[in-house]
Amino acid sequence: MQTVNLGIVAHVDAGKTSLTERLLHATGAIDRLGSVDAGTTQTDTGEIERRRGITIRSAVAAFGLGDRQVNLLDTPGHSDFVAEVERALGVLDAAILVLSAVEGVQPHSRRIMRILRSLRLPTLIFVNKIDRAGARPEDVVGDVRRLLTPAVAPLGTVRAPGTPEAAFRRDDPRYDHGSAHRLAETLAEHDDELLADLVDDLPPDPDRIDTVLRAQVAAGLVHPLLFGSALSGAGVPDLLDAIAVLLPASPPAESEPRARVFAIERDPAGERVAYLRSYGGQLRARQRVVAYRREPDGRTTTTRARITRLDVIGAATHHAQTGDDPPAALTAGHIARVAGLTGVRLGDQLGSPAGLDGRSHFPAPTLEAVVRPRDPARTLALHAALLDIADTDPFIRTRVAPDGGTSVLLYGEVQREVLAATLAETYGVEAEFGPGRLMHVERPTGIGTAVEIIGHGFLGTVGFRVEPDSGVRYRLEVELGSLPLSFHKAIEEATRAALDQGRHGWPVTDIRVTLTHSGYWSPITTAGHFRDLAPYVLMRALAEAGTRVFEPCRRFEAEVPADRLGAVAAYLGRLGARIDGTDEIAAGWRIGGVLPARLEPEAQRRLPDLSSGEGLWSSTPGGDRQVSGDPPCRPRTDGNPFDRVEYLRFLAQPRNRS
């Protein structure tokens, strides 16, 4: 049986979960149609998801379609949870991008589509909510072509849009020459034969169109577009047909075993379960496995674990439909829920490191908040809970704050609320969050060097040179054999950790650190001595190199009525935004640009006044910009490594060396 691992992605509230439910129901995988609004869907199962009516974690559900098993991955649309989407993207064979026929192309959809296109992932576009008042299907197609992909192929039109009777009418290129011609034009972009027919004014051959359409969808070159309503079910049979006919199945099994971990959660009983997608080989319960991880700096590390339980997704459906015994092993193309993988983290791959790149499609979170337990006696419990959560979600990074609290990195307010609820409900810790601080970054501006020779307060020799580069790189200029391996490891780890706080306390990036000197006294010097020494030498080198601080920015879109364009653009310019362009849209004008994240609340607050109450604001992360004037500082947690006496005094204090 073929499988298709199909992701449903979109801006928040476009109708992904409702559509997932509809597809499951239409194919008989579930008997009763649940609803997001009543909190009864298959994929929004978390307490908080049901209460708030939004998806927070990706969830998998399977259905049978002809000779295919489709594993649907319903993903969250809120931009606070992009990390979930990121991981799902890593295991998909194809995607459905859901748009709303009322709201049209929203910024988050643009961001996702850019990634889908760069991955060349076969993608169908489903324009949902055609039943809702204000649905404007034809405008949306124009917006898709302009903002998402020029290679869009609408497969039909909508009758009675904006009414409960709205229906999708699929074109048939066999009988309708106009639609055949339009489709051929789109496909001819990548097909010389169709192009030649068009140039010669020959009627396009419908069979040829079918074949080329399928091939170009599989190659991610063209994106079929369908309309419908997850609420009324309109267009859903046509969507199913497109999934069955136009989307490619999982590629054939690879010769080497390989399975990727794309989600980790705690089940209701508190057990940690991982979701794995297999590309080759077999995995069974009680098997021992090696998990490979690509660290952000490109190194590969491994973890060993043992599978205690393994459930293949869709096994029950398969059993119900074929009467065959459910499979006991996870094989290529399938997804399983697996228990027992202690120490294995999200993004790890079992069996082989092939294809791991450790890079991220989405920017890291930019908001840092200090968390404290309401009851001070629960400090340790809170810290342990946050570490546990960070384990299932690498985007949640924690650090001990200077005053003993724990700080976490977040994407936004909704994620903060969800984290608070998770701490209370899953871990029994009532927590309070301080105000969020925007994370800046530091970059070195020049070259700096520093050396500390053994015997002057420190029991080791370390010398560093730092210079601008991209990402964070660590190199050796000393002989590897000049130190025991464990000392090298201690220096590198301490260096990477110390780069979390640069001259102004912000994480340092785009830097290369080279170890230029090393030395030790055997048997007196320990790895711990190097852990203390490395940050000190590094900060001296960094001070010599100099660093600049950059603040996070937001890429925004403001939609305003035509007569307010001038006033809004002028205001945004005065505020400090860089305006990249304006385009005319059905509702007026859209202004696009970038502004520092700290100014966004002010811009959002003023927009209604400036736009006669009709302005719409949306934004996505937009890189960073150098801070002018005195940069803000982030409190340090490591004493003062810029001052020898103070730093030695800090090291002499008893402290928690976790």
Residues within the interface to ligand GTP (CB under 6 A): 10, 12-18, 36-37, 53-55, 76-78, 128-129, 131-132, 229-231
Q: How many residues bind Mg ion (CB under 5 A)?
A: 3
Q: CA geometry: angle at 74 spanning 278 and 284, to 5°?
A: 25
Contact 543, 446 (CB under 8 A): no
Any bridge partners for residue 63, and if so which?
70
Number of residues that make up the chain: 658
Residue 55 sits in the site that holds Mg ion (CB under 5 A): yes
Query: Which tokens go with 49?
Result: 């998801």
In the DSSP assignment, the letter for residue 115 is H
Those residues whose C-beta lies under 8 Å from the C-beta of residue 256, and which sit 6 or more positions away, are 280, 281, 351, 352, 354
CB closer to Mg ion, 58 vs 518:
58
Shortest Å, Cβ 34 to ligand GTP: 10
Residue 10 interacting partner from ligand GTP, Mg ion, none (CB closer than 5 to 8 Å by kind): ligand GTP
Residue 20 sits in the site that holds Mg ion (CB under 5 A): no
Q: For Mg ion, which stretch binds (CB under 5 A), given 52-60, 224-232, 263-271, 570-578?
A: 52-60
CB closer to Mg ion, 55 vs 509:
55
Contact 99, 10 (CB under 8 A): yes
Residue 47 interacting partner from Mg ion, ligand GTP, none (CB closer than 5 to 8 Å by kind): none
Residue 132 interacting partner from ligand GTP, Mg ion, none (CB closer than 5 to 8 Å by kind): ligand GTP
Shortest Å, Cβ 102 to Mg ion: 17
Residue 14 interacting partner from Mg ion, ligand GTP, none (CB closer than 5 to 8 Å by kind): ligand GTP
Contact 275, 348 (CB under 8 A): no
In the DSSP assignment, the letter for residue 253 is P
CB closer to ligand GTP, 89 vs 180:
89
CB closer to ligand GTP, 86 vs 442:
86
CB closer to ligand GTP, 265 vs 467:
265
Q: CA geometry: angle at 262 spanning 259 and 266, to 5°?
A: 115
Shortest Å, Cβ 74 to ligand GTP: 7
Shortest Å, Cβ 8 to Mg ion: 8
Provide Rg for the chain, Cα atoms. 28
Residue 588 interacting partner from ligand GTP, Mg ion, none (CB closer than 5 to 8 Å by kind): none
Contact 150, 223 (CB under 8 A): no
d(CA 247, CA 96): 10
Residue 41 sits in the site that holds Mg ion (CB under 5 A): no
Shortest Å, Cβ 277 to ligand GTP: 21
Tell me whether strands 309-312 and 300-306 are parallel, antiparallel or unpaired. Answer: unpaired
DSSP labels for 542-565?
HHHH-EEEEEEEEEEEEEE-GGGH
Strands (E), 167-242: 167-170, 223-227
Strands (E), 281-365: 288-294, 300-306, 309-312, 335-339, 349-350
DSSP labels for 361-430?
SSPPP-EEEEEEESSGGGHHHHHHHHHHHHHH-TT--EEE-TTS-EEEEES-HHHHHHHHHHHHHHH---
* Interacting residue with Mg ion among 3, 5, 17, 58 (CB under 5 A): 17
Give the DSSP H/E element, type plus range, for residue 157: strand 156-159
User: Three-state SS string across 593-653, please?
Assistant: EEEEHHHHHHHHHHHHHHCCCCCEEEEEEEEEEECCCCCCCCCCCCCCCCCHHHHHHHHHC
Residue 113 interacting partner from ligand GTP, Mg ion, none (CB closer than 5 to 8 Å by kind): none
Query: Which tokens go with 19?
Result: 């559509």
CB closer to ligand GTP, 239 vs 247:
239
Shortest Å, Cβ 96 to ligand GTP: 11
Residue 3 interacting partner from ligand GTP, Mg ion, none (CB closer than 5 to 8 Å by kind): none
Shortest Å, Cβ 448 to ligand GTP: 46
Residue 559 interacting partner from ligand GTP, Mg ion, none (CB closer than 5 to 8 Å by kind): none
Q: Kindly identify the residues of this chain, within the stretch 235-274, that bind Mg ion according to CB under 5 A.
A: none
Shortest Å, Cβ 82 to Mg ion: 14
Residue 465 interacting partner from ligand GTP, Mg ion, none (CB closer than 5 to 8 Å by kind): none
Contact 518, 461 (CB under 8 A): yes
Q: For Mg ion, which stretch binds (CB under 5 A), given 16-24, 25-33, 212-220, 338-346?
A: 16-24
d(CA 19, CA 11): 14
Shortest Å, Cβ 617 to Mg ion: 22
Q: Which of 176, 3, 6, 180 is nearest to 88 (CA)?
A: 6
Residue 230 interacting partner from Mg ion, ligand GTP, none (CB closer than 5 to 8 Å by kind): ligand GTP
Helix count (H) and strand count (E) of the chain?
Answer: 17, 30
d(CA 322, CA 316): 10
Residue 12 interacting partner from ligand GTP, Mg ion, none (CB closer than 5 to 8 Å by kind): ligand GTP
Q: Which of 384, 343, 509 is nearest to 442 (CA)?
A: 509
Residue 13 interacting partner from ligand GTP, Mg ion, none (CB closer than 5 to 8 Å by kind): ligand GTP
Residue 278 interacting partner from ligand GTP, Mg ion, none (CB closer than 5 to 8 Å by kind): none
Shortest Å, Cβ 6 to ligand GTP: 15
CB closer to ligand GTP, 83 vs 184:
83
Report which residue's Cβ sits closest to ligand GTP: 77
CB closer to Mg ion, 2 vs 45:
45
Shortest Å, Cβ 55 to ligand GTP: 3
Site string for Mg ion, 512-531 (x = CB under 5 A): --------------------
Shortest Å, Cβ 166 to ligand GTP: 9
Shortest Å, Cβ 41 to Mg ion: 8
Instruction: Count how many Cα atoms sit within 13 Å of the Cα of residue 282 in the half-sphere of its side chain.
Output: 6
* Interacting residue with Mg ion among 11, 16, 378, 529 (CB under 5 A): 16
Any bridge partners for residue 2, and if so which?
68
Chain residues in the site for Mg ion (CB under 5 A): 16-17, 55
